[in-house]
Every structure is written in C-alpha cells, then in structure tokens.
Amino acid sequence: MNYELFKHKNKWIFLVDMRRETDYIFSEITKASLEKQIKNNKKIWIIVNKKWFSSGIFCQKCGYVPKCNRCDVNISYYKINENKIGLCNICKTQYNFPLECPHCHSAEIKEFWIGTQRIAEYIQTEYKVKTVIIDADTTRSQKKIKEILEQKDIQIYIWTSLLNTPIKWVELDLIIFLNADIGLNIPDYSAAKNNFHFLYDTFTSHTCKNYIVQTFNPEVYSIRNACKMDKELFTIEDNQFRKKNLYPPFSDVCVISYKDEIEEKLFNKIDIMYKDLLYLKDKYQMDNLEIYTTPPLIYKMFNKYRYNIILKWESLRNFMDIVYTKLRINQKHFKVDRNTENII
C-alpha cells in the first residue's frame, strides 16, 4: 500500500506517499474515494495551495523557467476563455504564455505546481461534476462563501485559503490535501510549525470524518504528528530541532534587510555593515555570536534587489544596543527586525 491509515475516535486520516504513485495529481486512494463520494452525492473539499492554472512553467529540454522582469519570482499562469495569461504575484505585471522556450526555442513547455483552475478542469473532465473555486479572488467575504456553499448542485469545493474554523453551512464528507508538504520547502525555521497547524487545525476544526493527505515527505515530523493529532509530540520534536540549531525560543534572531535598485551598491552596503558587525563581535569578545549574509526567499521585488544579514545568539539585546550606538544606524535604506518570526 502507498498509504498509512491513522484512526481516531471519529476521524480517519489517510497519509499517502506520492513518491510511490504514478499520477502526480491524484493518488489511487484519492481517485477511489472521489468516485465513491461522487457516486453517493457527497460533498468534497480539495485544498490546493496554489491559485490559478499553474504556478509556473519550464522548458523540458533546457530547464528554463520564465521569471518576472521586475521581481525574482516565477510567473504564474491563469486561464481566461481558453487563453493562458502570465502574471507576477508580486508586482502584478502581465505576460504572454510562451509558445516556445526563448533560450533554446524548444516547444516542450511543461507546467509545474498545478493550481486551482487546473484541478477544477481535471475534475470536470474526469468526473463530470460541478465544482467551484473558493479563493481571495472569487470570494472576499463570509457571506459570499455561505452563498456558494448553500448551492445544492455543487459537489466539489476547491480552496486555496486554509479555513481553520468550522464550515457551518455544509456537511463535508471528504477533505483532500493535494500537496500537504509544499510549505516545507521554504528556508524558514517556522516552516514545520506552519505546516503542522495547516493540517492539525483543519482536522480539529471540522466535523468531516475522512481526510486524505498527499505528500512527498510522509516521514517529516510535522506531517506525521498532525496525522497522529499529537500536538504535544510535535512541540517536543520541534523544540528539539530549534534547540539543536539555536533558533527561537532558544536564541534571539535579528535580520538586517537591505534593498537597492543597483545590485553593486547593495553588495557594497552589505559588505560594509558585515565587516563592522564582525569588528564589534571581536571587540566585545562575543565568540558564540553567529553573523552571516544570505539572500531572502525573493531576491528582487519591484525592481529592487534585496539581501539580509542574519545575527543569531542566545541574547542579542545588549549587542544590538551596541550596534545602534557605535554604528549610528540610520534605517533609511534598510530595516532591522530584532524579534523576527522567520528569516526569509
């Protein structure tokens, strides 16, 4: 079997290992469950973490991925009357869907990270049932969501937002997480915590009895403990990870963020500040203080390049007071976050 079953008092949670599946969209147990629930005229909720048709495309021949000219992010694509339009999720610049790769001119353009529109199209083609997409673009109020959920002819609801409050207006019989591990790829020490609550809060907030969790990382402690509905064990294991790597609450983390339209000027600023911080570290004999530079998750936004200096130590308060005093920091061109929740 390609799945594990976690039985609870009034819930069954199927954890599916997608690495062993032949279809990268729906696992075999997901397909069987969909067919059964649709045949019995039941209500189904599918959670997809990406809006629109797809979250990006790539050239299968050379690997090229189109990115926004103003921001360092993949271009997402949505469908309007059979036409695919590209859009940057940051600056909202629109792009045409390429018919061929601009680098090698291959026509082998493929999509990755499928979105809500692609799932809705797949469902309607394969199962011939009425679906509806519920996201920030289509429903901006609880009243609108209620109106949609009260339509009796809709069987499948496709969501992007993670509702951690009960759905009061419809009885759900199956909830499917298509890509439960997508947030784990973010380089952030809070990724596991966010991933755990993404699943656990849904399990505990809804009366639905059947859940399918599709993942390429079924052994990850955030996913397994959520499926076990074991919040205490997750907290223990997450604290072990944070303590081992000196992340809050076992240390302080400060992020100094720079941005500039000229990349060379940005690196000059970073270099000067980094050397000044190392000088203060040596002068005040703070041997265990970690100082390193790293790009953020999105390197370029709105035509401005961005870079971070990360400081990590058991207590940064005194050192940062020294930094402000000795370096006479003016935050006109950068931002200091002394109690950061993440490092991206």
Grade residue 83 by pLDDT with cuts at 50, 70 and 90: confident
- pTM score: 0.80
What number is the average pLDDT over the span 150-157? 82
Q: Note the pLDDT of residue 335.
A: 59
Enter the tokens of residue 208. 């639905």
CB 254 within 8 A of CB 318: no
The answer to whether the beta carbons of residues 317 and 253 sit under 8 Å apart is: no
Rounded to whole angstroms, the Cα distance separating 176 from 223 reads 14
Q: Residue holding tokens 């005093």?
A: 325
Structure tokens at 173: 């019989």
Decide if domain 252-337 falls under CATH 1.10.600. no
Q: Which two tokens stand for residue 105?
A: 């001119």
What does 212-263 look like in DSSP terms, one character per residue? EEEES-TT-HHHHHHHHT-HHHHHHHHHHHHHHTT-TTSSEEEEEEEEESSH
At residue 98 the predicted structure's pLDDT band, cuts being 50, 70 and 90, is: confident
Q: Summarize the confidence of residues 183-194 as an average pLDDT.
A: 83
* Residue predicted with more confidence, 25 or 289: 289
Q: What is the distance between the alpha carbons of residues 326 and 322, in angstroms, rounded to a whole number?
A: 6
Among residues of the chain, what percentage have pLDDT more than 90? 32
* Res. 340: pLDDT tops 70: no
Higher pLDDT, 145 or 226: 226
Give per-residue pLDDT as tens, 272-325: 999 999 999 999 999 999 999 988 888 898 999 999 999 988 888 888 888 878
CA dist 122 and 114 (Å) reads 11
Q: Which residue has the tokens 């990850």?
A: 220
Over range 47-70, report the average pLDDT.
76
First vs last Cα of the chain: how many Å apart? 37
> pLDDT tens across 325-337, in order?
877 665 554 555 5
Give the residue with greater pLDDT, 212 vs 165: 212
Which CATH number does the domain 3-51+115-241 belong to among 2.30.30.30, 3.40.50.300, 3.30.43.10, 3.40.50.410? 3.40.50.300
Q: What is the mean pLDDT of residues 44-52?
A: 76
Look up tokens 């997750």; give the residue.
Answer: 234
Average pLDDT along the chain: 84
Query: Is the CB of residue 300 less than 8 Å from the CB of residue 307?
Result: no
- pLDDT, tens only, 230-275: 999 999 999 999 999 888 888 888 888 889 999 999 999 999 999 9
Contact 156, 129 (CB under 8 A): yes
The pair of three-digit structure tokens given for residue 257, joined into one six-digit string: 């963020």
Burial class (CB in 10 A: 0-12, 13-18, 19+), 65: exposed
For residue 166, pLDDT over 60 is answered with: no
The residue ranking higher by pLDDT, 3 or 81, is 3
Domain-wise residue ranges, the chain: 3-51+115-241, 52-114, 252-337
Phi, psi (degrees; rounded to nearest 5) at 95: -140, 155
The two three-digit tokens of residue 279, written as one number: 């000088």
Q: What is the pLDDT of residue 50?
A: 64
Q: In the prediction, which pLDDT does 164 show?
A: 47
The arithmetic mean of pLDDT across residues 172-198, rounded, is 86
Give residue 31's pLDDT: 93
Which DSSP helix (H) or strand (E) runs through 337? strand 334-337
